[in-house]
Amino acid sequence: MTAEEFCRRFGVERRGTDCVKWDALEARFGDPGLLPMWIADMEFKAPEQTVAALQARAAHGAFGYTFTPDSYYRAFIGWEKRRHGYEIKKEWLRFATGVVSALYWLVGGFTAPGDAVAVMTPVYYPFHSAVRDNGRRLVCSALVNTDGAYTVDFARLERDLAENAVKMLILCSPHNPVGRVWTEDELDRLLDICLKHRVLVVSDEIHQDLVTGENKHVPSAIVSGGKYAHNVITLNAPSKTFNLAGLLNSHVVIEDDGLRRKYDAETGKIDRRAGNIMGLAAGEAAYAYGEDWLDGLLATVRENDEYLRRRLKAEAPELIVSPLEGTYLAWLDLRAYLRPDEVADFIGKRCRLAVDYGEWFGARCEGFIRLNLATLPEHVRRAADSLSENLKAHGKSAG
Ligand SMILES: Cc1ncc(COP(=O)(O)O)c(C=O)c1O
């Protein structure tokens, strides 16, 4: 499906629907008039078959205790095999009300108070809070930024893990916010280091389907023919792919019997084992019928990304936009134009945008912003035009 057709058929107004992205601007940014380019949520309706499946479920009228039907497993397992070459067994799969909820349970269940848990910064901010809120020590191993292209400094990562006696690494693959789709070689090196130092890997692959560049997403569990599967817990979901986050249905995939038994024992303590009736109906239909829809979404994200880059290159050539290999989130380095303390006023008051600010993602990320490209081109045009015109007028940073 082309971007034009996708936007025409699925573009939707979110304002006035208790939508966090649009209707919580006042609460989050103190200004309801901003154009929201923050939070990873879209202005697109889910695939038609998903909406129909929800309508059919709703029409039945009873919403009692429900188990996950075989048809759901078939749809999800088929999707993983087709799209990612990952052959998941039904018994490996557990359900969570969100990937972030699962992260909290995993940090709490698989590490002890005071243990160190590592993340690779800059990274999605709930990774930080899942560690801190559980009373664990957060170890931030910084990625290397070379003119906007991020890589792993393996020697530094190994040192950070060893020196801090890290017990768990939360990996973001593909990586929000820097847009990397890690290659199999990179994952191999990283997973090897973790295995060597007995660091359990929680691989958050919620962005697995949102690949816009050349690199193919490789699930951590199948890297090197599955060499690390017994040291990996994978998180993914239909939510980010198909805009279903409000339906609270996510997956925890655990191949290793021992890890799975531990997971069941830990989540059993807080009785968190059930799926969500509407989330299951929606996810099954999306996995079964959503491929064409996803093509349309990715075409839209690519066009939006091209527009943003073109516009910024013309008016603010020294601004760095990281290459977008995956996710639908653009990561911008504004430091050539603005001092870190100028960014919030410039973005909010002059550009009239609501964005995710660099410092939310880790230390030394001031001066960066993250923009959401999974939206209608008219919004991206407005944001890109406003950013580039205001940056041009402002000129380069004196400092
Ligand atoms: C890396 C990553 N993990 C998890 C989430 C959120 O997952 P959930 O809504 O299922 O908690 C996001 C949302 O942007 C994300 O980027």
Q: pLDDT tens for residues 155-196?
A: 999 999 999 999 999 999 999 999 999 999 999 999 999 999
Kindly state if the Cβ of 181 falls inside 6 Å of ligand 1. Answer: no
Is the pLDDT confidence value at 274 over 80? no
- Band (pLDDT 50/70/90 cuts) for residue 396 is confident
Mean pLDDT on 244-254: 96
Task: For residue 289, name the pLDDT band (cuts at 50, 70, 90).
Answer: very high
- 96 CB under 6 A from ligand 1? no
Chain position carrying tokens 């990304």: 305
Contacts of 257 (CB under 8 A, 6+ apart): none
Residue 398's pLDDT is what?
65
| Average pLDDT score over residue span 318-328 | 98
**Per residue in 96-155, pLDDT tens?**
999 999 999 999 999 999 999 999 999 999 999 999 999 999 999 999 999 999 999 999
> What is residue 121's predicted lDDT score, i.e. its pLDDT?
98
**Which of the listed residues 206, 207, 250 should we mutate to test ligand 1's pocket, taking the one with most ligand atoms within 8 A of CB?**
206
Question: What's the pLDDT at 271?
Answer: 74
The answer, yes or no, to whether any atom of ligand 1 lies below 6 A from the CB of 237, is yes
Say if ligand 1 is within 6 A of residue 72 CB.
no
Give the closest residue (by CA) to ligand 1 atom 13.
40
Whether the per-residue pLDDT at 313 is higher than 70: the answer is yes
What is the mean predicted confidence (pLDDT) over 258-265? 96
Q: Centre a 10 Å sphere on the Cβ of residue 256 and count the other Cβ atoms it contains.
A: 17
Average pLDDT, integer, range 41-66: 97
Average pLDDT for the chain? 97
Q: What distance in angstroms lies between residue 106's CA and the mean position of ligand 1's atoms?
A: 15
CA of 231 to the centre of ligand 1 (A): 22
pLDDT digits (tens, 9 = 90+) for 215-246: 999 999 999 999 999 999 999 999 999 999 99
CB neighbour list of residue 361: distance below 8 Å, 6 or more residues apart: 121, 122, 123, 124, 125, 177, 368, 370
Share of the chain above pLDDT 70, in %: 99
**Domains of the chain, residue spans:** 3-46+291-394, 50-289
**Topology of the domain comprising 3-46+291-394:** Aspartate Aminotransferase, domain 1 (3.90.1150)
Query: What CATH number is given for 50-289 in this structure?
Result: 3.40.640.10
Ligand 1 centroid to 174 CA: how many Å? 12
Residue 199: per-residue pLDDT: 98
Write out pLDDT tens, residues 3-19: 999 999 999 999 999 99
Q: Check pocket membership of 124 for ligand 1, CB cut-off 6 A.
A: yes
**Residue 376 — very low, low, confident or very high, per pLDDT cuts 50/70/90?**
very high
CA of 238 to the centre of ligand 1 (A): 11
Ligand 1 midpoint to CA 241 (Å): 11
For residue 317, give the DSSP letter.
T
Closest ligand 1 atom to Cα of 39: 14
Does the Cβ of 204 fall within 6 Å of ligand 1?
Answer: yes
Angle at 233 between CA 268 and CA 83, to 5 degrees: 120
Closest residue by CA, ligand 1 atom 7: 99
Q: Is 276 in the pocket of ligand 1 (CB under 6 A)?
A: no
99 CA distance to ligand 1 middle (Å): 6
For the chain, give the longest Cα–Cα distance. Answer: 64
Mutation test residue for ligand 1: of 100, 203, 208, the one with most atoms within 8 Å of CB: 100
For residue 389, report the distance from its CA to the centre of ligand 1, in Å.
32
Residue 140's φ and ψ, nearest 5 degrees, are -100, 115
For ligand 1, whether the C-beta of 372 sits within 6 Å is no
The pLDDT score that the predictor gives to residue 294 is 98
Q: Which atom of ligand 1 is nearest to the CA of 237?
A: 10
With left for phi above 0 and alpha for psi between -120 and 50, is residue 30 left, alpha or beta? left
Does ligand 1 lie within 6 Å of residue 367's CB atom? no
- Helix 277-289 with 291-315: angle, nearest 10 deg: 80
Distance from Cα 205 to the centre of ligand 1, integer Å: 9
The structure's pTM equals 0.97
Report pLDDT digits (tens) over 24-44: 999 999 999 999 999 999 999
Distance 134 CA to ligand 1 centre (A): 18
In 143-216 the beta strands, taken as DSSP E runs, fall at: 144-146, 149-151, 166-172, 200-204
Ligand 1 atom at minimum distance from 98 CA: 10
Q: What is the pLDDT of residue 268?
A: 86
